[in-house]
Amino acid sequence: MDHKVVVENLVKIFGKNPSRGVELLQQGVAKDEILSSAKLTIGVADVSFHVDAGEIFVVMGLSGSGKSTLLRCLNRLHEPTAGKIVIDGEDITAMTRPALREFRRTKIGMVFQNFALYPNRTILDNVAFGLEIRGVEKDARQKIAQETIELVGLDGWENQYPSELSGGMQQRVGLARALALDPDILLMDEPFSALDPLIRKEMQEELLRLQEKMNKTIIFITHDLDEALSLGDRIAIMKDGWVVQLGTAEEILNNPEDEYVVKFTEDVDRSKILIAESVMHKPLAVALLEKDGVNVILRKIDKHGLSSILVVDGTHRVVGGLHPEDLVRAKKEGLSIKDIPVHEVSQTLLSTPLRSLLEMSSDTAFPLAVVDEDQKLVGVIARSHMLAALARRGVI
Amino acid sequence: MDGFRIPIGQHVDSLVDGLQEHVGFVFDWINDVVYATVMGIESVLLGIPFIVFVVITALIAWKLAGKGVALFAIIGFLLVNNIGLWQPAMQTLSLVLTAEIITLLVGLPLGIIIAKHKGLDNSVRPVLDLMQTMPAFVYLIPAVMFFSLGRVPGVMATIIFSMPPMIRLTSLGIKQVPNDLVEAGHAFGCTPYQLLVKVELPHALTTIMAGVNQSIMLALSMVVIAAMIGAGGLGSMVLRGVQRVNIGLGFESGLAVVILAIFLDRITQGLGKKKQEF
Ligand SMILES: Nc1ncnc2c1ncn2[C@@H]1O[C@H](COP(=O)(O)OP(=O)(O)O)[C@@H](O)[C@H]1O
Ligand SMILES: [Mg+2]
């Protein structure tokens, strides 16, 4: 499938005669030098990346690194100086004004750091704003706005004014205003930076909850690595207008490209990166291949209320898993455990990131077996554990 | 250097002559429109029964500015009627309203255009400064030259005098709209017109209403001066008081002007506040 958003060699330079700056950039002149010698500010310097449909793409970097400028080029609030932006196969940079307006009205929504709500409009009219601009009839747009307000958990507030709401609630309105248009793409410029940490966490969870339902393509800006890690499918790190590294959270943490990225990753709480070890449980009971008979195993299952049991050999290596139904049948028919099917069980190492585990465990009735370097069973992860752990950390 | 005098006056004279000669029909048209408006408003104000006028204005005052102002309107207008100045008061009101309507029609768009064009702002600002600092009497001369004597030149001189704050505050209001609100408007696909009507004007309304308020107050301050060229109304009563050294008449007419001024001031302030209550 084609990428939803493709950005190729995007450059944005502020100042008079910016194309001069493009040449300087190509010659490898640094941002500071271009500013002092040519009086040009590099907003975004030659950036290329793509974003897939349904992905949350996080752009991270220090203040002034060009994040906002990059984002504003995507809906052409800033006119790119050079380069190409292709969304759904259409070149945004070549659009005429009317086409661009239509594109903004239907395809791409934006959420702002300081909410940018209209103080003289009610919550309902704020959320309906985009639809009003699109020319949707009053009744229809208010109906959609009302539904969107409910979606973000603000029902009952529709007739208040923004100043009557807390920061977190105001940003829910900001989010609802963008969502009311049902755009494919959401641009979010540090939407939670102005909120205090607890509310911020809550909003991140809210966003992920909504994203699960709506599956938008989200380009999310933050200067906070924790936020980037909990939201981003992939993360781009910007510095002086350049993207210095792009990859998944794990890739960036394990292989920081340069000093700048290292600085970012240093103060991250590593426990926030969930790995198998941090969510596994001790197995309540296992079936010993050489020792246990059918009756013993059934008793173990019964005693601990298990829905299946892992079988290990004499060296505590995982052989597979048994279904209780098979055991019950074996008991009735007087068979030994050697005669009933032992199912294959997925195994994983202690250090495997949870992200990869989610995919592994979804199609099996058995828990994941977590093993150490010697392949000895050290823990199990039921799918419910995984979800609970993720939920506890506010990842879902 | 001594012998030479720059002939500013001469140039202004010939400019006015030239305008009259070549675009006289424009002035005729303006004259007709303004005259019709003033007389129309005046005949309505004087046409409705006095008591109906009082009730309506009291209701408006109550709605926009509260009970106190409503009570003030009732007592004030009863007093004006009682001292026999009702007709000139309504003439003055219609003159002020006409001037204000035209000031709004011209000043609002001008203010908006100036706010949107930085270059224009720089060239218009000194003109507005000049308009505001020039002694108001000076406006009587071109007003008389183009529109002779009577209501119309009175309105025109008043308009010139009361226009600057309207333009200034409209432009200020638009420029003060926070950048992120404008940006949000763009991000949601506003046309320039939608941005103006749905984002900028609503946000600037309080400031624009302050402009309306100020220009009405300036218009009222022109009442006596405009009466010197035959605009009539309370101004001419004041002048009559001065000419005949009739302190009583002068004071009563002045009082009527003050009552009108307070009423209009509170109403327009109330209008600005009402819209701001979010
Ligand atoms: N409208 C503008 N005019 C001139 N320079 C700008 C403008 N917007 C941003 N810049 C400059 O571009 C650079 C990147 O800014 P920005 O994208 O806002 O960074 P970030 O969002 O990462 O904090 C900064 O050096 C900033 O000063
Ligand atoms: Mg920014």
Residue A396: pLDDT band with limits 50, 70, 90: very low
Least confident of A78-87, A354-363, B160-169: A354-363
B155 vs A396: CA distance, rounded Å: 69
Burial of B23 (0-12, 13-18, 19+ CB in 10 A): exposed
- B278 with A133: Cβ contact below 8 A: no
- Put simply, whether A75 touches B (Cβ < 8 Å) is yes
Classify residue B247: in a domain, yes or no: yes
- How confident is the model over A13-37, as pLDDT tens digits? 998 888 888 888 888 788 888 888 8
Closest C-alpha to ligand 1, atom 10 = A43
Looking at residue A134, its pLDDT comes to 94
Looking at residue A362, its pLDDT comes to 56
- Ligand 2 centre distance from Cα of residue A217 (Å): 20
Nearest to B188 among A105, A119, A162 (CB): A105
- How confident is the model over A314-336, as pLDDT tens digits? 888 888 888 888 888 888 888 87
Mutate to test the interface with B, among A76, A92, A101 (most CBs of B within 10 A): A101
- Give me the number of domains chain B comprises: 1
- A119 with B186: Cβ contact below 8 A: no
Mean local confidence (pLDDT), A290-305: 85
Residue B277: pLDDT band with limits 50, 70, 90: very low
Q: Collect all residues of chain A within an 8 Å Cβ-Cβ radius of residue B209.
A: none
Looking at residue B274, its pLDDT comes to 61
Classify residue A251: in a domain, yes or no: no
- B188 with A119: Cβ contact below 8 A: no
Reply yes or no on whether the pLDDT at A239 is more than 70: yes
* Min distance B278 CA to chain A CA atoms (Å): 6
Classify residue A346: in a domain, yes or no: yes
Mutate to test the interface with A, among B177, B180, B182, B188 (most CBs of A within 10 A): B188
- Put simply, whether A126 touches B (Cβ < 8 Å) is no
Classify residue A337: in a domain, yes or no: yes
- A134 with B202: Cβ contact below 8 A: no
Q: Which residues of B182-219 are buried (b: 16+ CB within 10 A; e: fewer)?
A: bbbbbbbbbeeebbbebbbbbbbbbbbbbbbbbbbbbb
Mean local confidence (pLDDT), A347-355: 79
A&B contacts, CB < 8 Å? 63
Looking at residue A160, its pLDDT comes to 92
- Give me the number of domains chain A comprises: 1
- A75 with B202: Cβ contact below 8 A: no
Q: Which residues line ligand 1 (CB under 6 A)?
A: A 14, 41, 43, 61, 63-69
Residue B152: pLDDT band with limits 50, 70, 90: confident
pTM for the structure as a whole: 0.75
The CATH number linked to A337 is 3.10.580.10
Nearest chain A residue to B190 by CA distance is: A133
Reply yes or no on whether the pLDDT at A141 is more than 50: yes
Residue whose structure tokens are 């049991």: A309
> Strand, helix or coil at A169?
helix
> Strand, helix or coil at A224?
coil
Query: What's the token pair of residue B65?
Result: 């500015």
Reply yes or no on whether the pLDDT at B278 is more than 60: no
Residue whose structure tokens are 């449980």: A281
* Min distance B181 CA to chain A CA atoms (Å): 5
- Ligand 2 centre distance from Cα of residue A128 (Å): 26
B264 vs B220: CA distance, rounded Å: 10
Mean local confidence (pLDDT), B21-50: 87
Mean local confidence (pLDDT), B101-122: 91
The interface pTM score, or ipTM, of the predicted complex is 0.79
Q: Collect all residues of chain B within an 8 Å Cβ-Cβ radius of residue A162.
A: 278
Closest C-alpha to ligand 1, atom 27 = A64
The total number of residues written for chain B in this structure: 278
Q: Which atom of ligand 1 is nearest to the CA of A78?
A: 1
Q: In terms of residue numbers, what domain contains B172?
A: 8-47+83-277
- Ligand 2 centre distance from Cα of residue A201 (Å): 20
Classify residue B92: in a domain, yes or no: yes
Classify residue A376: in a domain, yes or no: yes
Q: Per mean pLDDT, which of A285-294, B32-41, B182-191 is the most reliable?
A: B182-191
- Put simply, whether A13 touches B (Cβ < 8 Å) is no
Looking at residue A270, its pLDDT comes to 53
Q: Collect all residues of chain A within an 8 Å Cβ-Cβ radius of residue B202.
A: 118, 120-121
- B189 with A161: Cβ contact below 8 A: no
- B184 with A112: Cβ contact below 8 A: yes
Q: Which atom of ligand 1 is nearest to the CA of A189?
A: 21
- Ligand 1 centre distance from Cα of residue B7 (Å): 53
Q: Where are the alpha helices (DSSP H) in chain B?
A: 8-47, 50-65, 67-82, 86-116, 118-133, 140-147, 151-175, 179-187, 192-194, 201-221, 223-227, 234-243, 247-276
Reply yes or no on whether the pLDDT at A180 is more than 90: yes
Average confidence score pLDDT of chain B: 87
Looking at residue B199, its pLDDT comes to 95
- B180 with A129: Cβ contact below 8 A: no
User: Where is pLDDT greater, at B64 or A270?
Assistant: B64
The CATH number linked to B151 is 1.10.3720.10
Mean local confidence (pLDDT), B74-95: 89
Classify residue A44: in a domain, yes or no: no
Q: In terms of residue numbers, what domain contains A346?
A: 277-392
* Min distance B189 CA to chain A CA atoms (Å): 4
Classify residue A67: in a domain, yes or no: no
A268 vs A224: CA distance, rounded Å: 9
